[in-house]
Chain A
Amino acid sequence: MNFNTLLGKTKNLKALFLTVLIVGFTLSSCNNKSNKKDDDNSDNFDRAAMLTDVADLLIIPNFETLQTEVNDLKTAIETFNTTSNEANLIATREAWVDAAMAHQHCSAFGFGPGKLLLGPYASVLGVFPVNESAVEANIVDDSFDLPNSFSKDIRGFYAIEYLIYREGLSDADIVSSFDADRKAYLLLIVNELKSTFDNIVAEWNGSYRADFIASTGTSAGSSLSLYYNDFVKDYENLKNFKLELPAGLTAGFETPDPTLVEAYYSGISRDLIVEHFKSCTNIWSGTSKDGTNIQGFEEYLAVLVGGPELATQTNTTITQIEDLINALPAGKLSDNIADPAIETLRDKLQDNTANFKSSLSSILGISITYSSGDGD
């Protein structure tokens, strides 16, 4: 039988084959989002397991801690508003510090429930510097409507900080500055924090958790892509806005500006930087806040082309960064804003940016945008 007749005889077979193929691929492309049982039958990395760990042992507990701290802060503020004295002011400040520290461990999770109408929650409620004059104007403006305001520098953690620390005033003066309007504004802001984090926790504990874990792909919009992108943005925010900008190391800025640091009024900027970087390394290495080892990017890299090399290199840089953070001058960052240790730390954080930002996504095969033609 020659080739020609063979072809002729198999013509129908081929048509059938074609149909099967087309139907198969149409089906499989439609089913992209469907839930599929995770197969853990090979050495391939189990992304569903990683997402489960990340949701259950990192994101949800961290948000729950933040929720608790914010609720405590609200209670403290209510107590202070009822009984305005220095002791209650100090109690409020202590509650605020706890909340601000807990916020560092959540600021990277600005997707899904963490994304508010105005953007990722940290870009709405974690904004500094505070617009002092706008806050003062809002306090005396009876028609001010927080839910319908688009301003970000008059709300959130650092607006509360401004109100309860006030630069240049004694504690007694601050207590007496709290008239009814000021108390009302303070309560308004903490209520927004409370409802926001109550809601985020409720959504994570509700249906979002299952959606998050079920989306095991790597394309744009997948859970891994959202989690990864926000992690990198959060890391860059630490470098850009908590160090570089106040230290005057951004192009076009002539001199350092200490008022641009995070937590300028309380002076805990340095502690917050320590916490923030700890949160970054937790996400990178897969470590819960209490130190439990979970599945993270580091584990994922272990099974990928070029992954172990990148993990080693990143861990080396991270250790160096931790040393440099420890070497930051003690005391308020704003008092030491021109200290060369800040620039050294910034440079090292910059060195590590490529590890997190481009090398990691490249090796993991994560798509960072929806635009077609990646890699073409």
Chain B
Amino acid sequence: MKTIGEYIQSVFNKMEQSTSIAPLVVFRIAFGLLMLFSSSRYLYMGWLENQLTDPILHFSYYGFDWIKPISETGMYMIFIIMMIASIFISLGFVYRISTIVFFLCFTYIELIDITYYLNHYYFVSLVALMLIFVPANKHFSLDVKLGLTQSIDKIPSWCIGVFKWQIAIVYIYAGLAKMNYAWLIEALPLRIWLPAQSELPIIGFMFEYDIIPYLFSWAGMLFDTFIIFGLMYKKTRLISYLCVVFFHSITGILFQIGVFPIVMMFGVLIFFSDEFHQKIIVGLRKLIGFGMLSSKNTDLYSYKTPKFFKTAVFLFFVFQILFPWRFMLYSGNLFWTEQGYRFGWRVMLMEKAGTATFFVKDGENGREGSVINHQFLNMHQEKQMAMQPDLILQFAHYLEEHFKEKGMKDPKVRVEAWVTLNGKPAQLLIDPSVDLTEKKDTWRSKDWILPFKASNAKI
């Protein structure tokens, strides 16, 4: 029987096995292009202004309240730098610096306002972080062409493994998250979302049938949980990839999830064979007539990964595997309290909405007045805030500061937040008698969240 130490050692040995660099090269090229496209789209949609520079206040990530947007010109500069870095990543040009710059820019923008949190932004940040440490520019790249680095054919398997493992975590955890009563037995929230799409051409008619949300719910759960295993084996790879294309096309059409269906369709190509990727590279070489001269790819990758680095990679994935389970340390309904909800690959899992009315009481004279939220927040922020306890707390603290600045000595802030979950009648999310200025956001369980009363469910 293996000890844990021996087991880790065998993992480390496997991480060192050599494999073709081709999948990593194609992954690098696709990632750069997709990020260029996604950043351009972001600017084109006017989101830089709407999401970053126009709002009066921003909701911060826990521990990152020091991250603030800079001026509009400054934000445009950051976007342009990020887009140039994306192009450079694709070209494999000054690769290490480009990946670091991209990672910092992207993560900075992502951290400005948590109301725009998406699992997929987190995924992109993680991929960008990992790209910094792999030699994706050592083949079919400008760096090779210009002699900045040597061309190689083989790399240690962990360099590709990290992306496969990360993608596997995304899918499998998204699948596990769907294994709950509402999703599988009640077909919620799809029973709410799908009928709203009945006007879609070709497929829209389906959503008028009651069986469809159940089919989609079960298919979605099975797809997410098992698709990685289908992609891992040659026999099932092509049919699995067809499922990937089908699934992400459907979700892309049905829901507002932007470019991420495309990101995943390209991302999973990394599971394809070395030959498949070599063919793509040969095709690209022919297409652009570049790099034929430099293809003296005889160097073997002689670099031995330091043990501390392998340990870091190992710990990174231990964290990735464990962190989404932290919700089990909190009591209460996860969907209701959202304690430990984020960073867990819980994607499009519930229909939740709320209306939060804040009351500010002057501690000196006892006069209480209500707050008109949209004087401080845009529609998206207000919508996201109204159903997430930690964001409600942030806004309460903002109001405390705001009214202190206006001369109120001791503002007390309470909230009446009526929240509906999966179409069930709205309930109060927060104890409306609690003065939120007295409460702090911590890792501890928030005792001012009222429990979800399932008996209210009458569906």
B452 at the interface (CB under 8 A from A): no
A4, A32, A371, A375: the one within 8 Å of B47 (CB): A371
Contact B355 A357 (CB under 8 A): yes
B239, B258, B359, B459: the one within 8 Å of A373 (CB): B258
Task: Check A250/B198 contact, CB under 8 A, given A42-B208, A358-B426, A371-B380.
Answer: no
Q: How far apart sit A363 and B195, CA to CA, in the bound complex (Å)?
A: 10
Contact A376 B383 (CB under 8 A): no
Chain A CB within 10 A, most for which of B205, B350, B426: B426
Contact B399 A363 (CB under 8 A): no
Within 8 A of A (CB), among B385-418: 386-387, 399, 403, 406, 408, 416, 418
Binary B-proximity of A200-223 (CB < 8 A = 1, otherwise 0)? 000000000000000011111000
Contact A253 B369 (CB under 8 A): yes
A31 at the interface (CB under 8 A from B): yes
Task: Check A358/B195 contact, CB under 8 A, given A28-B200, A251-B369, A370-B45.
Answer: no
CB distance from B190 to the nearest CB of A (A): 10
CB distance from B415 to the nearest CB of A (A): 12
Residues in chain B near residue A34, CB distance under 8 A: 201
Residues in chain B near residue A29, CB distance under 8 A: 252-253
Contact B196 A251 (CB under 8 A): no
Residues in chain A near residue B119, CB distance under 8 A: 376
Q: How far apart sit A367 and B367, CA to CA, in the bound complex (Å)?
A: 37
Residues in chain A near residue B347, CB distance under 8 A: 376
Residues in chain A near residue B351, CB distance under 8 A: 362, 365, 375
Query: Of B90-98, B241-249, B297-305, B441-449, which binds chain A?
Result: B241-249
A18, A251, A365, A373: the one within 8 Å of B358 (CB): A251
Instruction: Report the count of interface residues on B (CB-CB < 8 A).
Output: 81
A43, A240, A250, A365: the one within 8 Å of B192 (CB): A365
Contact A354 B189 (CB under 8 A): no
Q: How far apart sit A351 and B40, CA to CA, in the bound complex (Å)?
A: 42
Residues in chain A near residue B353, CB distance under 8 A: 358-359, 361-362
Closest B residue to A350 using CB positions: B357
Contact B196 A354 (CB under 8 A): no
Contact A373 B199 (CB under 8 A): no
Chain B CB within 10 A, most for which of A250, A253, A375: A375
Closest A residue to B193 using CB positions: A365
Interface residues on A, range: 35 or more
Contact B426 A354 (CB under 8 A): yes
Residues in chain A near residue B253, CB distance under 8 A: 25, 28-29
Contact A358 B252 (CB under 8 A): no
CB distance from A108 to the nearest CB of B (A): 16
Query: Of A130-138, A188-196, A303-311, which binds chain B?
Result: A303-311
B372 at the interface (CB under 8 A from A): yes
Contact A251 B360 (CB under 8 A): yes
A14, A47, A252: the one within 8 Å of B199 (CB): A47
Q: How far apart sit A346 and B238, CA to CA, in the bound complex (Å)?
A: 61
Residues in chain B near residue A365, CB distance under 8 A: 192-193, 195-197, 351
Q: How far apart sit A219 and B188, CA to CA, in the bound complex (Å)?
A: 19
Within 8 A of B (CB), among A289-342: 304-307, 309-310, 313
Residues in chain B near residue A372, CB distance under 8 A: 118, 256-258
B363 at the interface (CB under 8 A from A): no
B9 at the interface (CB under 8 A from A): no
CB distance from A227 to the nearest CB of B (A): 15
B425 at the interface (CB under 8 A from A): yes
Q: How far apart sit A310 and B416, CA to CA, in the bound complex (Å)?
A: 18
A28, A217, A251: the one within 8 Å of B371 (CB): A251
Residues in chain B near residue A36, CB distance under 8 A: 199, 201, 204
Contact A373 B256 (CB under 8 A): yes
Closest A residue to B253 using CB positions: A29
CB distance from B172 to the nearest CB of A (A): 18
B203 at the interface (CB under 8 A from A): yes
Contact B238 A14 (CB under 8 A): yes
Chain A CB within 10 A, most for which of B51, B119, B242: B242
B331 at the interface (CB under 8 A from A): no
B196, B380, B387: the one within 8 Å of A364 (CB): B196
CB distance from B348 to the nearest CB of A (A): 5
Contact A14 B242 (CB under 8 A): yes
Task: Check A373/B116 contact, CB under 8 A, given A36-B201, A359-B353, A362-B420.
Answer: yes
Residues in chain A near residue B459, CB distance under 8 A: 305-306
B423 at the interface (CB under 8 A from A): yes
Residues in chain B near residue A375, CB distance under 8 A: 189, 193, 255, 348-352
Q: How far apart sit A375 and B292, CA to CA, in the bound complex (Å)?
A: 48
> 12 interchain pairs (CB within 8 A)?
A14-B242, A18-B242, A22-B249, A218-B199, A252-B408, A354-B420, A361-B353, A363-B420, A365-B192, A373-B117, A375-B193, A376-B118
**A24-B202, A368-B379, A373-B257 given; 14 more Cβ-contact pairs under 8 Å:** A18-B242, A27-B201, A217-B200, A219-B256, A248-B369, A250-B370, A358-B418, A358-B420, A362-B420, A365-B193, A365-B196, A367-B256, A372-B257, A373-B256
**B contacts, CB < 8 Å to A:** 45, 47, 50-51, 116-120, 188-189, 191-193, 195-205, 207-209, 235, 238-239, 242, 245-246, 249-250, 252-253, 255-258, 347-355, 357-360, 367-372, 379-380, 383, 386-387, 399, 403, 406, 408, 416, 418-420, 422-426, 458-459
Nearest 5 A/B pairs, CB to CB: A365-B196, A306-B423, A354-B418, A372-B258, A251-B369
